[in-house]
Amino acid sequence: MEATTANGLLLQVRGASKAFGGVRALDRVDFEVYPGEVVALLGENGAGKSTLMKILAGVYRPDEGEFYLAGRPYAPRTPHEAQQLGISTIYQEFNLTPNQSAAVNIFLGREPHRGGTLGRLVGFVDRPRMNKEAAQLLARVGARFKPDTLVRHLSVAQQQTVEIAKALAIKAQVIIMDEPTSALGEEEVAVLFDIIRSLKAQGIAVIFITHRLEEVFRVADRIIVLRDGRRVGTLPIAEATPEKIIGLMVGRVLDRSQAHISHARAGEPVLEVRGLTRRGVIHDVSFTVHRGEILGIAGLVGAGRTETARAIFGADPLDAGEILIEGKRVTITSPTEAVRHGLALVPESRQLHGLILISSVARNIALPNLDRLSRRSVVSGRRLRTLVTNYVTRLNIRTPSIVQPVNRLSGGNQQKVVVAKWLASQPKVLILDEPTRGIDVGAKAEVYAIMRNLAEQGIGIIMISSEMPEILAMSDRILVMHEGRVAGILDRAEATQELIMAYASGTLRLQE
């Protein structure tokens, strides 16, 4: 480890400012990291986290500010230069080439070459050496796959270890992790946290960005909070509480963001699923959703939760099983038929499957509702504006106008646009797959309030979530899946994190 500054800091930022088109994204922000420290950087979407991290990563140049790394001025002009200087960033979307091996990805652009004159002139890659060094780096992060494995054959968690090994290969002193657990199951999160603790022991600092507060208490040493482009607070982990953190992040007192719904008792069945089977994916899945009920679906990654939702919605074919809506058996072979029967699905990835990013808020909300908005195949502009404005107001979607492209909205507002377009279809059952993934605490509270309101209106809700506190707090009943099967169904009163994990891991089964 290179020498740090006199006060022991590894990375120091003084008065960082950055504006975009007159909008001040960062306003004289100070930031610091010590060697072997995990700093959780928190804040609502738009707080300035991404801008600060992109400056550190060499993507943006600051308008003002002083930056020091290991006691030396730090001013990278490109991401490559930032890596060379000692700061590496691991984004939510990995920067890997899927058809090349883990070793090639780790050393991409820095491959070791064979010795001798010919090796230097022709640039032959020394593959045995590259694989050997890659194996050593992967061992440092606890990976248990061979370095010559193609990246496309690796799980998401394993691909993440390749990204971390890349950072170690360039001798990173600071590793920035942006929402590193967003696509991981509980067991994979535990492995990642073990890796982070190992990095700490090696003197490497980690900047950890997440929207999951429970993770902060498991892995961070210190918390820095940004709000509206300014640093508004710092908390040692020993002094932090969820209430203190949320208060700093949102600058206002929130109702309990995960307070359970207090609507009237659920009514008659609105959706019944019997023996749904898709060979190799889901097996004999059966459950019921009542009017005004939130049925949470929990399980580890690969348990079949999303696959069940897609099968009900007609996005994937079924080999067996039946679906009843309001007591009547229906045949659903496409999402169009699902919508016609009163089903709606907010997908796991809003950007890949939920939105047309370059299109406007209005077009996205109108898309599943064109039949209602049209007369003789011509869309009525007046009807469209009335419908869209109604849902923008109803869901408090923060947008300058309804013609704003959705890719210019925050993650939380994008999610509300997806919800709005399906609510406009007037569903009887709303399926929400990871409804709060990647959105901030304030936006989560708003999504929970929307769910509460919908349940009170009698809509049946299925909520798939990997966040245990969310499942426990928001569900009337909890269905737990394991390896494509229903492992257990729990009433809210009896559900605990330990019991859910016992079912999710296969330790307990439904008949027990």
Q: Identify the weakest region by mean pLDDT among 49-53, 94-98, 376-380, 387-391.
A: 376-380
Look at residue 26 and tell me if it is in a domain: yes
Residue 505 has pLDDT above 90, yes or no: no
Instruction: Based on the fold, state whether residues 208 and 240 are members of the same structural domain.
Output: yes
Question: Token pair of 403, please?
Answer: 């013609």
> Residue 104 falls within a domain, yes or no?
yes
Same domain for 201 and 66: yes
Q: Give the pLDDT band (50/70/90) at residue 187.
A: confident
Q: Which residues contact 66 (CB under 8 A, 6 or more apart)?
A: 12, 13, 14, 15, 73
Question: In the numeric block, which tokens belong to residue 491?
Answer: 């009433």
User: CA 274 → CA 195, 317, 483, 486, distances in Å?
Assistant: 42, 15, 18, 12
Please say which residue of 199, 221, 253 terminates a domain. Answer: 253
Kindly state whether residue 420 falls inside one of the protein's structural domains: no
Across the range 147-175, mean pLDDT stands at 89
pLDDT in tens, 263-275: 445 679 999 999 9
Of 149-153, 404-408, 427-431, 486-490, least confident by mean pLDDT is: 404-408
Is position 349 within any domain?
Answer: no
**Do residue 265 and residue 338 come from a single domain?**
yes
* Residue 277 three-state SS: strand
* pLDDT score at 208: 95
Domain ends where: 253, 277, 300? 253
- φ/ψ of 410, rounded to 5, equals -70, 165
Q: Which residues form the domain of 82?
A: 1-86+171-253
Claim to verify: residue 248 and residue 267 sit in the same structural domain:
no
Q: How many domains does the chain have?
A: 4
Same-domain check for residues 273 and 317 = yes
Count other Cβ atoms within 10 Å, centred on residue 139: 12
**Are 176 and 69 members of one domain?**
yes
pLDDT score, position 115: 67
Do 501 and 445 lie in one domain? The reply is: yes
Distance from C-alpha of 471 to C-alpha of 480, rounded to nearest angstrom: 10
Q: What is the pTM of this model?
A: 0.61
Q: Is the Cβ–Cβ distance between 426 and 344 less than 8 Å?
A: no
For the cut 80, the answer to whether the pLDDT of residue 3 exceeds it is no
Shared domain check, 144 and 223 = no
Residues 80 and 94 in one domain: no
As a whole number of angstroms, the distance between CA 421 and CA 364 comes to 7
Alpha helices (runs of H) in 86-230, residue ranges in sequence order: 102-106, 116-122, 127-140, 156-169, 186-201, 213-219
Question: Considering the domain boundaries, does residue 471 fall inside one?
Answer: yes
Q: What value does the mean pLDDT take over residues 290-308?
A: 90
For 36-47, the pLDDT digits (tens) are 999 999 987 678
Q: Range with the lowest mean pLDDT among 10-14, 166-170, 310-314, 479-483?
A: 166-170
The answer to whether residue 156 scores a pLDDT higher than 90 is no
Which structure tokens are listed for 149? Answer: 């494995």
Q: What is the Cα–Cα distance from 165 to 361, expressed in whole angstroms? A: 40
Name the residue with tokens 């691909």: 159
In the DSSP assignment, the letter for residue 447 is H
Confidence tier at 66 by pLDDT (50, 70, 90):
very high
Mean pLDDT in residue range 402-418: 84
Tell me if 4 sits within 8 A of 37, measured CB to CB: no
More confident residue, 233 or 187: 233
For 478-486, what is the mean pLDDT? Answer: 93
Domain endpoint, select from 105, 124, 156: 156
Contacts for 73 with CB less than 8 Å, ≥ 6 apart: 66, 67
Q: Is 239 helix (H, G, I), strand (E, B) or coil?
A: helix
Backbone angles phi, psi at 363, to 5 degrees: -65, -40
Write down the mean pLDDT value for the chain: 85
Cβ–Cβ under 8 Å, residues 466 and 299: no
In the DSSP assignment, the letter for residue 8 is S
Residue with tokens 């890796």: 195
Backbone φ, ψ for residue 323 (5° rounding)? -125, 130
- Structural domain contains residue 465: yes
> Is position 165 within any domain?
no
Same domain, 289 and 313: yes
- Tens-place pLDDT, residues 315-373: 999 999 999 999 999 999 999 899 889 998 888 777 777 787 888 888 888 877 767 76
Q: Are residues 37 and 82 in the same domain?
A: yes
Residue 437 has pLDDT above 50, yes or no: yes
Average confidence (pLDDT) over 468-474: 88
Reading the block at residue 251, the tokens are: 């600058």
β-bridge partners, 231? 226
* Tokens linked to 261: 């719904």
97 in a domain, yes or no? Answer: yes
Please compute the mean of the pLDDT values over residues 222-226 and round it to a whole number.
Answer: 95
If asked whether residues 455 and 512 sit together in one domain, one would say yes
Output the domain CATH number for residue 333: 3.40.50.300
**Residues 163, 480: Cα–Cα separation, whole Å:** 32
